[in-house]
Amino acid sequence: MDPTAIPDLPRGVRVHFDKVRETWVLLAPERTVTLDPVAHAILSEVDGKRSFGEITARLAELYAAPQDQIAADSAGFLGALRDRLFLDLAS
């Protein structure tokens, strides 16, 4: 994933806390994706303003982990959301 690309959740896709199942989920048209803590941490940084590179740098700092490893994990997850059109990527 291009580090300068800016990820954003499009209208109609939103993060929601599921009180009954006590987990974070991503709600999209006719789909619900359960978010594990890593996925939720990544999406919590997606604000439509910061680039993928800035987000992974921030996550590396927050979780004291190597940025290239975080970038690889995040690219896999965000790429899968992008393929399902649950995520926009602006270059």
**Sites of contact with other proteins (CB under 8 A):** 10-14, 16, 18-21, 25, 27, 29-30, 32, 82-85
Kindly state the smallest distance separating residue 83's Cβ from other proteins, in Å.
Answer: 7
| Residue closer to other proteins, measured from CB, 16 or 65 | 16
Dist CA 51 CA 90 (whole Å): 9
Alpha-helical regions (H) of 5-66: 37-45, 52-63
**13 or 70: CB nearest other proteins:** 13
Question: Which pair of tokens denotes residue 26?
Answer: 């991503």
